[in-house]
Amino acid sequence: MPADPSPRTAPSPPSPKNRGPGTSAVEVRRSSRRRRTVSAYREGDRTIVLIPARMSEAEEQRWVGVMLDKLAAQESKRMLGDTELAARAEWLSEQYLGARARPASVRWVTNQNTRWGSCTPAEGSIRLSHRLKGMPEYVVDYVLLHELAHLLVPGHGRRFWELLEAYPRTERARGYLEGVVAAGRLPHLPGAETEPG
């Protein structure tokens, strides 16, 4: 399958498997044989996204985002148990909160259907709704970081939101969660699309 000889690369956030100092990259490969489908896979520390050669720059950007979210959701569904969740919380605290937020426990729960997460600062416990399982890792990271920030600042005032400004995908994650809530109100959910229109 012929590919563009000079594929594009762009940095992406590290996955839970590779959270070292280096970051993985996204490589877009265009193919004249590929007519409609878009696919993506991990290759070492790189993410390869395969797209049709005729696709515009705007379509490319949109589909790279869609495929990164899809891969992240698949990986999140496969790998995050309570132990991994606690490790992720520790990493997020180090990266974005100067390791100041130190939860005593972090776990998944099945009794939170109206909240994505909750925190009891007096106990140092964080609970995430099982509904987050399978969502992109940046969304789970945001909710975890949100609850970690509550260990430092109980309410949702200015100081709280200033802590979350350090996480670069806060707005995107909030938008994703708002979309999930809005989609839950729709009478019919369309299937996931992997072919550009």
pLDDT at 15 > cutoff 50: no
pLDDT reported for residue 11: 37
pLDDT reported for residue 166: 92
The better pLDDT of the pair 97, 193 is held by 97
pLDDT at 29 > cutoff 70: yes
pLDDT reported for residue 77: 58
Q: What beta strand segments (E) does the chain contain?
A: 8-12, 24-31, 39-43, 46-52, 105-109, 117-120, 125-129
The better pLDDT of the pair 15, 171 is held by 171
The residue to which tokens 């996480």 are assigned:
167
The token pair that represents 98 in the structure block: 């100067």
| pLDDT > 70: percent of the chain | 78
pLDDT at 59 > cutoff 50: yes
pLDDT tens digits, 62-74 = 999 888 888 877 7
Sheet holding 105-109, edge to edge: 105-109, 125-129, 117-120
Q: How many CA atoms lie within 13 A of 109 on its CB side?
A: 15
| pLDDT > 90: percent of the chain | 44
Largest CA distance in the chain: 59
pLDDT tens digits, 99-150 = 999 999 999 998 888 899 999 999 999 999 988 887 888 899 999 999 999 9
